Amino acid sequence: MASEVTKITSGSLIAAEKVEGTDVYNPQGDKLGSVDDIMIDKVSGKAIYAIMSFGGFLGIGEKYHPLPWSTLKYDESKGGYIVNLDKKMLENAPTYDINEEFMWTPDYGRRVDKYYNAPSYW
* Rounded CA separation 85/97 (Å): 21
| In the complex, least distance from residue 39 CB atom to a second copy, rounded to whole angstroms | 5
CA-wise closest residue to 75 among 20, 118, 22: 22
* Rounded CA separation 82/19 (Å): 13
Residues that bind a second copy (CB under 8 A): 1-2, 4-10, 12-17, 19-20, 36-49, 51, 53, 64, 69, 72-74, 98-106, 109
Q: Which helix (H) or strand (E) holds 24?
A: strand 23-25
23, 80 Cβ separation under 8 angstroms: yes
| In the complex, least distance from residue 88 CB atom to a second copy, rounded to whole angstroms | 25
| In the complex, least distance from residue 60 CB atom to a second copy, rounded to whole angstroms | 17
